[in-house]
Every structure is written in C-alpha cells, then in structure tokens.
Structure 1
Amino acid sequence: MSEVRIDKYLWAIRVYKTRADATDACKGNKIHINGTVAKPSKTVKAGDIITARKNEVTFTFRVIETVEKRQGAKLVGNFAENITPAEELEKLHRPIETFFLKRERGSGRPTKKERRDMDDLWDRYFFDSEDVYDDEEDGDEDY
C-alpha cells in the first residue's frame, strides 16, 4: 500500500481511539504532515513525519509503512516509529502531579465530582478503562 488517508492511518496505528476522533483532530488543525496542516483526506506515505497534538502533548511519528486496517498494539511499531522528544513526553506527568497537589491531606473522601475528574484524568493520560478490565480477565491473581 503506497498512500493512505491521514485520518485512517492515525486510527490504524492507535493514536486515536476512533476514526471520528482522528478526523476531528485533523479538522481542528492538530495534525501536521511534514510541517504542513493536514486535512482528513490528506494522504501519507512511507518516510513522512506526522505531528499530532493530543492532550497538550505534541506526539511525533515517522511513517515506516502505510496501513488502512486497525493494528494490534504490538504491531504498531512495524508501521510507525514514535520519535516524540522526551520533553514532550514529560508533559504527560505534569497534570497528575498538580491535580494531586491541590487536594489537602486529611480532607476526607473525594466527592463524586472529584472522583469523576480523577477518572477522566486517568483515562486521558494513562489508559483506557477497557485495558484495565482486559488485564483482569487473564486469570493472573496478585495474591
């Protein structure tokens, strides 16, 4: 496969959870191909550099091979190389630190709203809730 739409490619390599999310990111000027803003229909080819702004972090990928179908997480490395600078990756941890710093020690249980905010934060920066449940199904017990 020589060229693929950018929205399909970002979905296939698991940068975005849905193709609609990838399309919205393109429409919001959050995706660049080789330094130029990319519309959802723009095509990518091997060797292109993709920059995707997501959750205040600018991720950078080099296209190794194009693919249209969604790939398993272990196979993504065959199609894209993550060349995001370390400074950008450090930004992922900043919101967590500041979120927990503003809560006073001994102030009791979090309210329902605070709990939802924490869940949203965890989902956005670390993992999808589906991933947690997938780990529990493997039968490994921690005790």
Structure 2
Amino acid sequence: MADGSVRVDAWVWGVRLAKTRSQATAACRAGHVRVNGATAKAAQPVRLGDEVRVRLHGFDRIYRVAGLPTRRGSAAEAARHFEDLTPPPPPRVERPAAILRDRGAGRPTKRERRDIDRLRGRSGED
C-alpha cells in the first residue's frame, strides 16, 4: 500500500507471529487479531504506531507497530518491526505437587479426603 501501511495479515506473518500467511489470515478471520481495539479483517491496513493485539496459544499479546516489513526476514530483523507491550504474566502460585500417604494406609477417611480437597484448591460444596 502506497500510503505507508501494510495489510495486517502480512504484518503478522512478516514479524513472525504466524508461521504462514494463510495462518495469519485465518487468525484474522477467527477474530484473534485486533488493531487499535477493533477486530481486524485480513486486508485492514496497519500503520506505524498502531496497537495490534494477537491471541497466541490462549494468551493475548500486545504489540506496537514500529516498522512495516516488506518481506519475511530473520527473527532479529522481525523484532525491529514491533515493540512488545504485553504485561508480564502473574506469578505462579506454588502448590504441593502431591499429597503423600504412607504405603498401606488404606483409603483416606472422610476428614482426610476433605483436607486433600482443600489442599488441591477444590471446594467441598459442589
């Protein structure tokens, strides 16, 4: 596009957020790509400074367009075309990996079962 813009699917593919151009187009069709807060169609133009949100692997990633790639290049080259604005993920809550019981102790009692459920984060009032 002559006015300093690129199709959003070509940009997503060019900065290596999608492996193929058709995957980038499919992501746009599925509503996984947003430009400046609005769901983007594949042919929508992106310009310098636009905010692009892409849903990858179940998480939203937020990018600011810093360059318009004309072709798909190396990862280092692609990194120059965006700023990653994604906030860091929240810290993981450490839980005990397993509740250990003595071998041969038999089945847990009702009280032990409630304690186990409480440790696993389950509520007893299902």
Q: TM-score, normalised by structure 1?
A: 0.60
In the aligned structure 1, how far is the partner of 2:68 from the partner of 2:88?
Answer: 25
Greater per-residue helix proportion: 1
Return 59-68 or 43-52, whichever deviates more: 59-68
**Bigger Rg over Cα:** 2
Aligned equivalent of 2:21, options 19, 22, 25: 19
Structure 1, unmatched stretches of 5+, are 94-100, 102-143
Of 45, 48, 61 in structure 1, the residue corresponding to residue 47 of structure 2 is 45
Structure 1 counterpart of 2:37: 35
Letter matched to residue 76 of structure 1: A
- Does the Cα contact within 8 Å between 2:72 and 2:78 map onto a contact in 1? no
- 1:1-143 equivalences under 5 Å are 2-87=4-89
Quote the Cα distance in structure 2 between the aligned partners of 1:54 and 1:35: 16
Structure 1 residues 99-140: Cα deviation after superposition (integer angstroms, max 9, x where no partner): xx7xxxxxxxxxxxxxxxxxxxxxxxxxxxxxxxxxxxxxxx
2-structure distance, mates of 1:76, 1:4: 14
Unaligned runs of 5+ in 2: 98-126
What is residue 105 of structure 1 aligned with on the other side?
A: none
Letter in 1 for 2:47: K
Aligned-partner SS, 1:62? strand
Superposed displacement of residue 3, structure 1: 0.3
User: Residue by residue, what CA displacement relative to the aligned partner does 1:1-47 show, whole Å, maximum 9, x if unpaired?
Assistant: 71000000000000000001100000000100000000000000000
CA distance in 2, matches of 1:67, 1:40: 16
d(CA) in 2 for partners of 1:32 and 1:6? 9
> Shift of the alpha carbon at 1:75?
1.3
Q: What TM-score results when the alignment is normalised by the length of structure 2?
A: 0.67
CA–CA distance in 1 between the matches of 2:58 and 2:70? 27
Number of residue pairs the alignment of both structures matches = 93
